Amino acid sequence: MRKLFVRLIGYGSVLFASAMAVASTELPQYAQDEHIGVATCASGVCHGSVRGRDATSVLQNEYVVWSRMDRHRIAYQTLLTPESKNIATKLGIGKAHEAKICLDCHADNVAIEKRGEKFQIEDGVGCEACHGGAQRYISSHVDVDSNHSANLSAGLYPTDQPKERAELCLSCHLGNGEKMATHDIMGAGHPRISFELDTFGALQPPHYVVDDDYKAEKWHGSQIDLWAIGQVTAAKQTLALIDDRLEQGGLFPEIALFDCHACHHSMSEKRWVASERSALPPGAVRLNDANFVILLAIAEVMADGSDVALTSELKTLHLAVNNNGNYSASIAALTATLEKVHNKLASMDFSNSAEELIEAMIRGTIAGNLTDYVVAEQAIMAIDMLLEYRGVREDYSQWLDQVYSTLQDEDNFSPEAYIDSMRRFGA
C-alpha cells in the first residue's frame, strides 16, 4: 500500500485559466489590509453552507471543507501538542503557541494592529492567510457587478495564479527571508520539510471547482503546468535562501539548506556515490538540490539546451559552496537560467508531454542522477501525477506501491532498491 502520499483520484484539471498577467503580489501576512477573521466567512449564506451549491459562482461550502478536511485548520492546535511544547522548551522560546517563530507558519500571524474584532489566532492557517486580508474585498467580492480583477485590486491574493500560489505555499513549506524551519528548529525535533505544489494541493482537498465561472475570470490549466511552475519557483526560492541565509556566522552555515540524508544515516551505512551534478568528493555535505534535479527532466523535454546550462551551473554552485568560493556568482547565473525556463514554461503546452517527462525521470534515476532520498520522493510524486494525468494510474498502481515502499523509511533508504524498482516501470 502506498503510505507516503495519497493522491485524490479524479483531481483532474483542477487549476489555471486565462493568461491574465498578475504582477508580483505581497504575501497576505505582510500586506497592509486588516484580517477580519474566519468567522466573517463562515455564515451559511457566505462560505459556510454544509453542501456545495450550483446556483452561485462558488460552492459556498468552502469554510466547511476547510474546517473538516484541510490540515491547515489544525496548524495552530499542533503547537499545543507535547511534541511542540518539547521543541519550544529545547529552543528556549517560551510557549510554542505564543512564539512568533512558530506562529509565522502555524497561524495567520499578522501584526496585532491588522487583526479585526472577529480575528482569532487559534483559527490557524485560515481564509485570509492565503486569500489576503478581507478588509477591502469583503464587500466587493459579493457584489454581482464586481469581478475578479476588482477583488485583486482590493487586496485579494491571486491564488489561482501558479507562480503566486507557489510563492505563498513555499513561504512556509520551504521558507523565505522572514521565516524558515532552520536546522536549529529541526534539531529540536521539528520534522524535515518536504513539499510539492501539485500533490500537496490535491491532498487538502481543493475547496473549489474549475467550472465555466472559474474559467471566465481565472487562470486554469493542467496539473503538469502547476507541477512544473511549482518546481521552478521552489528552485528560485531555494537560491534566494542560500543567498540570504547560508552564512550565519559561527562554525556552521545554515545546515537546513543541505541534504539531510548526506549526514543523517548510520555510520556503518556507506551511502556516498559519485554524482556528475555535484562532483563532490566523499564526505562532502551537499546542498538539497531536489527541485533543481527534477527541473533537469523538464528542461530536457523543452529541448532548448536549458538542461545543459542547469547541469553546468548546478555543479558550479555545489563546488562553490563546498569550497567556500564565490557562490553568489553561481546563484546569479542559475537564477538567470531559471528565469528563462520559467518564461519558456509560460509559452509551452505540456499537455502532451507527460510520457516524455516520465521517461526522462526514469532515465535519470537509472543513470544515478535522481537517487538521493529528497530527489526520489519528488520524482515519484511527479510520476504519480503524470500517470494520473494520462488516465493510466490504475494500470501502474502495483508498480507505484513497490516504488513507494522503498521510500517508506527515509532512515533506511536504499538507492539500489529504489533504482531496481524504477527499472521495472512498464514491466
Domains identified in the chain, total number:
2
Give residue 128's identity as a one-letter amino acid code: E
Q: Are residues 246 and 283 in the same domain?
A: yes
pLDDT at position 379, please? 96
- Domain range for 327: 1-25+159-427
Domain boundary among 157, 192, 209: 157
pLDDT grade, residue 271 (50/70/90)?
Answer: low
Span 75-92, pLDDT tens digits = 999 999 999 999 999 999
Rounded to whole angstroms, the Cα distance separating 63 from 52 reads 11
Domain boundary among 157, 180, 197: 157
Closest CA to 15 of 197, 186, 146: 197
Is the pLDDT reported for residue 184 higher than 80? yes
Give, for 306, the enclosing helix (H) or strand (E).
Answer: helix 306-322
pLDDT grade, residue 235 (50/70/90)?
Answer: very high
Average pLDDT over all residues of the chain: 89
Contact (Cβ atoms closer than 8 angstroms) between residue 138 and residue 46: no
Helix-strand-coil percent breakdown of the chain, rounded to 5? 55, 0, 45
Q: Are residues 166 and 122 in the same domain?
A: no
pLDDT grade, residue 421 (50/70/90)?
Answer: very high
Q: Are residues 269 and 395 in the same domain?
A: yes
Domain boundary among 106, 133, 157: 157
Report the pLDDT averaged over residues 55-68. Answer: 88
Is the pLDDT reported for residue 34 higher than 60? yes
Q: Are residues 2 and 142 in the same domain?
A: no
Task: Give the side-chain half-sphere CA count within 13 A for 380.
Answer: 30
pLDDT at position 325, please? 86
Q: Are residues 393 and 273 in the same domain?
A: yes
Span 7-27, pLDDT tens digits = 333 333 333 333 344 444 899
Is the pLDDT reported for residue 48 higher than 90? no
Contact (Cβ atoms closer than 8 angstroms) between residue 91 and residue 190: no
pLDDT at position 179, please? 96
pLDDT at position 278, please? 77
Q: Which long-range contacts (C-beta less than 8 Å, at least 24 apart) are formed by 246-254?
A: 246/321, 246/327, 252/183, 254/182, 254/183
Contact (Cβ atoms closer than 8 angstroms) between residue 37 and residue 116: yes
Span 115-126, pLDDT tens digits = 999 999 999 999
Q: Are residues 196 and 289 in the same domain?
A: yes
Q: Are residues 184 and 259 in the same domain?
A: yes
Q: Are residues 39 and 152 in the same domain?
A: yes
Span 124-142, pLDDT tens digits = 999 999 999 999 999 888 8
pLDDT at position 265, please? 77
Rounded to whole angstroms, the Cα distance separating 169 from 167 reads 6
Rg of the Cα trace of the chain?
22
Closest CA to 58 of 121, 123, 142: 142
Q: Are residues 173 and 130 in the same domain?
A: no
pLDDT at position 351, please? 81
pLDDT at position 24, please? 45
Chain Cα centroid distance, residue 388: 19
Is the pLDDT reported for residue 171 higher than 50? yes
Q: Are residues 297 and 219 in the same domain?
A: yes
pLDDT grade, residue 29 (50/70/90)?
Answer: very high
Give, for 219, the enclosing helix (H) or strand (E).
Answer: strand 219-221
Q: Are residues 302 and 259 in the same domain?
A: yes
pLDDT at position 172, please? 97
Report the pLDDT averaged over residues 338-357. Answer: 89
Report the pLDDT averaged over residues 178-196. Answer: 95
Q: Are residues 423 and 282 in the same domain?
A: yes
Span 87-111, pLDDT tens digits = 999 999 999 999 999 999 999 999 9
pTM for this entry = 0.90
Closest CA to 314 of 352, 276, 345: 276
Span 211-229, pLDDT tens digits = 888 888 898 888 899 999 9
Rounded to whole angstroms, the Cα distance separating 285 from 305 reads 29
